[in-house]
Structure 1
């Protein structure tokens, strides 16, 4: 089977978020896909069924090194980049529409995930030392933490063991931007086998409506300030939908022999 490593949400190699992409030439077993994702070790590996080349939407699944997930933006971007052109995928989050843009980027229409205010989990203070917590919110999968400043977001060294005790996929911390981007964020998901995700497309489904309301805009530029870093163009689309766009770069292509 053809396989790739693609850096998503970046225009240069070795930045953004790397994802594995496997083009399935036949339907595959979930246990096998999980083993491949663990072997690759990326935050996510996408498996897209191309056994029927003209079929649309194409079945698409995503696995972290330890579990299957319902939605993964950067691996969807990577998959669309590999396949080329406009794509439609059949996923655990419904039908996803991806559009190739004139500037070489890909725009993905994903389900919105507006969060609701919650009482901060007990583990949060220990898990995020140095963060001045202004408010805490909860989406379908993640906790969103509003920090006082972008400087705090950039500087935090989380206690991953404490964050892993919070019963969510991950913890998203965010603040207003301090440079090129309108907002800054970082994302930690140790409970899902991802200490820090470099650039998280699905997290911006939560950030979209939350920041859109506070900024008073329907479109903004977000920076995920991990060590690798990356930029995400976010747009509030149709009701209940978010459009997220970014570039991608293929860094590895080859053949997967273990079947």
Structure 2
């Protein structure tokens, strides 16, 4: 049996930047063990599996190690593939049934806009290992549904981080988001990095779902509902966010870099 698999760089308009995700549009259901094996073989931060379901698609996301409840960049990549490969008309809405409920995507010129649940974080007392692992002082620490948010003083500290990943792996959360206000005149409002060694991702290049928490976090501090975030990983990527009540609109671009056949 052959299965088409497409690799897409998400949250970028340039190949080899942003966050790569593999996308499989399935013709029949496959079990979780097979999907996990494929994700491990692809060895990307996420592999997405789509199965047509009525007017929409069932969507599952797997890291090389585990299935996850929410993933932004692989959803962006999935929507891109559905339009590019002709599964959906260019002006049709992409509708996904997921572990995080119904998610949708729309095209807006060269951008794709995802409608995701907002995840307003709350102040918390961090475990000592968290700040020890990061090696920088925090100006604030909050906790969302999946991740810690650690604010530091400036963009230089975010970019210069070399965390102790072994220590971070001991912290029982999906990931750790480190963030700060952006330097003046950069064209974006805040910067971030995302570390998830506990789920098999030492550093994620661009994490759409993290912006479900970053959007309300920075919206409150900057007193604006529409913001631009830059994830300052080695590959880097831009995420436009708009807070709309209990939802976040995540805007990004995507480009296909590879199309192949998985042979079983």
Classify the TM-score, shorter chain.
over 0.9
- CA–CA separation in structure 1 for the residues paired with 2:193 and 2:163: 11
Matched, 1:152 2:144: no
Counterpart of 2:86?
none
- CA–CA separation in structure 2 for the residues paired with 1:23 and 1:231: 26
- CA–CA separation in structure 2 for the residues paired with 1:191 and 1:123: 14
List structure 1 runs of 4+ shifted beyond 2 angstroms: none
Q: Which runs of 5+ in 2 are unaligned?
A: 84-89
- CA–CA separation in structure 1 for the residues paired with 2:64 and 2:99: 18
Assess if the C-alpha contact under 8 Å between 1:187 and 1:197 holds in 2: yes
- CA–CA separation in structure 2 for the residues paired with 1:203 and 1:79: 18
Matched, 1:143 2:148: yes
State which of 16, 30, 33 in structure 2 corresponds to 1:31. 33
Counterpart of 2:61?
62
- CA–CA separation in structure 2 for the residues paired with 1:173 and 1:7: 22
Counterpart of 1:220?
227
Matched, 1:193 2:200: yes
Assess if the C-alpha contact under 8 Å between 2:138 and 2:150 holds in 1: yes
Assess if the C-alpha contact under 8 Å between 1:56 and 1:89 holds in 2: no
Counterpart of 2:115?
109
Matched, 1:173 2:178: yes
Counterpart of 1:182?
189
Assess if the C-alpha contact under 8 Å between 1:49 and 1:58 holds in 2: yes
Counterpart of 1:48?
50
> Secondary structure of the residue that 1:226 maps to in structure 2?
coil
Assess if the C-alpha contact under 8 Å between 2:46 and 2:61 holds in 1: yes
> Secondary structure of the residue that 2:139 maps to in structure 1?
strand
State which of 24, 31, 41 in structure 2 corresponds to 1:22. 24
Tell me how large the CA RMSD over aligned residues is.
0.9
- CA–CA separation in structure 2 for the residues paired with 1:111 and 1:70: 12
Count of residue pairs the alignment pairs up: 252
Assess if the C-alpha contact under 8 Å between 2:131 and 2:137 holds in 1: no
Q: Which runs of 5+ in 1 are unaligned?
A: none
Assess if the C-alpha contact under 8 Å between 1:112 and 1:241 holds in 2: yes
Q: Cα offset for 1:118?
A: 0.5
Deviation per residue, 1:192-251 (Å, 9 max, x gap): 0000000000000000101001111010100000000000000012x2110001000000
TM normalised by structure 2 equals 0.94
- CA–CA separation in structure 2 for the residues paired with 1:202 and 1:56: 24
